[in-house]
Structure 1
Amino acid sequence: MKTNSIGLAVQESVKMVESLNVLLSNFQIYYQNLRGLHWNIKGKRFFDLHIKFEELYNDSQLKIDSIAERILTLEGAPLHTFEDYIQKSIIPVGKDISNDEKAVQLVVDSLSLLLQLERKVLEDAAAMNDEGTNSMMSDFIAEQEKTTWMLKAWLA
């Protein structure tokens, strides 16, 4: 079995890079949605949601960088064009959303999709003994589960 410089099987690492690039693409669409929500939110809850969306897009920007750096660590190349992101993303584009409940629902739905992708990456990382990716996914999942719970409580 041929291994890369960090001791992981090359063939499995190539597959992991593909999965992480799908996750990266989805995070980029999620990030851009959050920017749009931050800019366009209106109504009596403007101040609270404007701040919350900024918090979420700042967090997602850090996660995007972590995913891209993990791809590089696995000796792959992170995707970096909107064409690739749109092609590989399952997260819907949230265009012209200014209503508070629609905005928060888009975030909840997006997080649900991200969690599905992250759980698959986590499963595959565990199977190939890729503790670096595994640890990153565990951290993302725990944080996003809590955010989902809080946003669903807000919607209730």
Structure 2
Amino acid sequence: MNILGLPQKETKENIELLNTLLSNFQVYYQNLRGLHWNIRGKRFFDLHVKFEELYNQAQLRIDEIAERVLTLGGVPLHTFEDYLKNNKLAIAKNVSTDEEAVNVIIKSLSDLLVIEREILDKSDEINDEGTNSMMSDLITEQEKDIWMMQAFLG
């Protein structure tokens, strides 16, 4: 057991999964920045503001995930090389139309949910309530974001 009362081997595995999530959140964040900068069209004003809200929210989540890695005794990944090596999200390059941008967000959030649910299952198995709670909050938040983005698309 580690200092938190969690099994070391399984905690190390969860740290690796959290680092994968961290990497993917960094790519999601950068995608959002690009969408914010490059959005065009009649919905520009609404989406420009919404994308900024989402990237600010993602930046907070990135910090929380990195801090959880540290709390569990790990080292958060912090290089672009590591982020890209662990990334599972599509890279949104030169996306400027409203529907394409919103679909990028929906797909990214759906892919993040897969990673988060895996972490949730693993953290639940070892009674890691801190990680479990974090994943539950992320999942709830992102499911709502997906619903709102789908509502936007009609």
Greater mean deviation of Cα atoms: 47-56 or 3-12: 3-12
Q: Which residue of 1 aligns with 2:17?
A: 19
CA offset at residue 134 of structure 1? 0.1
Q: Which residue of 1 aligns with 2:56?
A: 58
CA offset at residue 144 of structure 1? 0.6
CA offset at residue 7 of structure 1? 1.1
Q: Any unmatched runs of 5+ in structure 1?
A: none
Q: Any unmatched runs of 5+ in structure 2?
A: none
Query: Letter of the aligned partner of 1:69 in structure 2?
Result: E
Q: Which residue of 1 aligns with 2:80?
A: 82
What do you get for the CA RMSD once the two structures are aligned? 0.5
Query: Letter of the aligned partner of 1:106 in structure 2?
Result: V
TM-score (norm 1): 0.98
Give the alignment partner of residue 36 of structure 1, picking from 21, 34, 38.
34
The share of aligned pairs that are identical, in percent, is 61
TM-score (norm 2): 0.99
Give the alignment partner of residue 97 of structure 1, picking from 95, 98, 110.
95
CA offset at residue 37 of structure 1? 0.3
Query: Letter of the aligned partner of 1:71 in structure 2?
Result: V
Query: Letter of the aligned partner of 1:85 in structure 2?
Result: Y
Residue 113 (structure 2) pairs with residue 115 (structure 1): yes
CA distance in 1, matches of 2:145, 2:11: 30
Count the aligned residue pairs: 154
CA offset at residue 4 of structure 1? 1.3
Runs of 4 or more above 2 Å deviation: none
CA distance in 1, matches of 2:119, 2:2: 19
CA offset at residue 148 of structure 1? 0.2
The secondary structure found in structure 1 opposite 2:34 is helix
